[in-house]
Amino acid sequence: MSILDRFALTDHVAVVTGAGRGIGAATAVALAQAGADVVISARTAAQLDVVAEAVRAAGRRALVVPADLADTDAVAGLAHAAFEEFGRLDTVVNNVGGTIPNAFLDTDVAYLEEAFHFNVSTAHALSRAAVPLMLRPLPDGSGDGDDASRQRSIVAISSMMGRAAGRGYLAYGTAKAALAHWARLAATDLAPQVRVNGIFVGSVMTSALEFVAAMPEMMDQMETKTPLGRVGEAEDIAAGVLYLASRAGQYVTGKLLEIDGGIQQPNLDLGLPDLRPRADEAAPAPAGSPA
């Protein structure tokens, strides 16, 4: 076997969430180019159709499932859709997530819980639905639940903010840290049959950074504060997913790859000021307290 053969996913089936653009889209196409059929899901059908065409151009099948992936029932349903359409399920990429930065006092409990739900609960819902299907024998009768040599893999897309501290990222960073540790714990629960890993993603040029790209000073700050001198490309992350999902990463589980250009701290200052006491403002009243 050539070393390059270890990266092949011939006839595998993968589910990729948040696959309409950015990291999710690049990952879906990369997995297809490695030989996998792909279930892709996001909110916008038109974006998914473009990704599906790229998957088919790579010679693989694509199942498009537009859905609100904040709905845990909808995201769990992707696992069953994959199995019903293709008869197997090998790889889950929990990519959907994200939270807009916010100042501490503007981050109420509901905002924090929403961040956790969108980044962690969705990943758990899909993975929990997927694992029993991943353990089923293949259509040819091989690869049953006791066959640890079959490459079954879950990959969680976390963020470097899940391992570093930066002002304004409390909800997002907390949720991404939880997702990273979820991957470590799930890896322990599911070994040896299913490998679970994650990626600490750095600044990647996706739609989330379009506002930065339009501001040369902010873009220069991000590039200057990144040791490799540039922001990442979606394909940088997709390559890491392929490694973790394929036989190339068959001796890796419970780990988080750091694909972040070498940054150790956030490379973008949001400009949030220090807190200042204001005598004319009362502290927020606890929920349920009398007015």
Q: Which residues participate in catalysis according to the annotation?
A: 172
Phi/psi at 7 (5° precision): -90, 0
Whose tokens are 């059908």? That residue is: 45
φ/ψ region of 261 (left if φ > 0, alpha if ψ in -120 to 50, else beta) reads left
From first CA to last CA, the distance across the chain in angstroms is 71
Question: What is residue 100's DSSP assignment?
Answer: -
Tokens of 75: 């995201």
| CB contact set of 34 (below 8 Å; sequence gap of 6+) | 7, 8, 9, 10, 242, 246
User: Any residues with CB less than 8 A from the CB of 158 and at least 6 apart, and which?
Assistant: 176, 177, 179, 180, 183, 198, 199, 200, 201, 256
Question: Is 254:197 a contact under the CB 8 Å cutoff?
Answer: yes
Please state, in angstroms and rounded to a whole number, the distance separating the CA atoms of residues 134 and 32.
18
From CA 62, how far away is CA 42, in angstroms rounded?
Answer: 13
- Distance between CA atoms of residues 43 and 19, nearest Å: 9
